[in-house]
């Protein structure tokens, strides 16, 4: 007996106490809360990025697994830890639920419970849906991996900097300042 696939609209009504939920090709995925260190790094990144984006009127930064519909039929809803959407692409009015668009930049901060395949699946879903730039920050290893929509990737060590490239023009942030 096969299980019915869930839609993005149904996901909005799901309540799994003290867990984080996403939808991957119609299947509910439940995650544990990521932990204190994860939250600490995430707030440092979002503070620096959001301040820059606001000062330069570039768009909107969201956090806390806000959720984006990356695919339909079956639905995939992913919530990067931090996401940036350019001013030209921000939906008006702001949706209460999940917008049908991929963020321009997705940021994932690894936590001890993350598995490599799971993280790469999240990155692949974002890039396949049109996200141009994804940063995966690894606090334990003190590095970040940068994935681009053109298929290229780089590694940034603690002495290097995250670069907004063409997605968040002019933005840079030393990695060691957020670790």
Taking the model in full, what pTM does it have? 0.94
What's the pLDDT tens digit per position in 46-92?
A: 999 999 999 999 999 999 779 999 999 999 999 999 999 999 999 99
Pick the more confident residue, 113 or 41. 41
Token pair for residue 45?
């990144």
Torsion-angle region of 105 (φ positive above 0: left; ψ -120 to 50: alpha; else: beta): beta
Question: In the chain, where are the structural domains located?
Answer: 34-177
What's the pLDDT tens digit per position in 35-50?
A: 899 999 999 999 999 9
Residue 125, SS3 per DSSP: helix
What is the topology classification, in CATH, of domain 34-177? tt1808, chain A (3.90.1570)
């Amino acid at each position: 007996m096969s299980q019915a696939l869930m839609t993005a609209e149904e996901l909005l009504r799901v309540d799994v106490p003290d867990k984080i939920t996403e939808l991957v090709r119609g299947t509910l995925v439940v995650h544990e809360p990521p932990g204190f260190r994860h939250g600490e790094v995430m707030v440092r990144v979002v503070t620096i990025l959001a301040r820059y984006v606001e000062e330069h009127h570039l768009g909107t930064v969201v956090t806390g697994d806000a959720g984006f519909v990356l695919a339909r039929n079956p639905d995939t809803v992913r919530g990067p830890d931090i996401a940036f959407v350019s001013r030209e692409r921000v939906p008006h009015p702001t949706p209460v639920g999940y917008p049908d668009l991929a963020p321009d930049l997705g940021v994932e901060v690894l936590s001890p419970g993350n598995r490599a395949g799971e993280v790469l699946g999240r990155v692949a879903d974002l890039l396949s849906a049109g996200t141009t730039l994804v940063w995966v920050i690894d606090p334990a290893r003190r590095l970040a991996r940068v994935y681009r929509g053109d298929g290229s990737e780089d590694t940034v060590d603690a002495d290097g900097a995250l670069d907004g490239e063409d997605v968040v023009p002019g933005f840079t942030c030393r990695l060691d300042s957020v670790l």
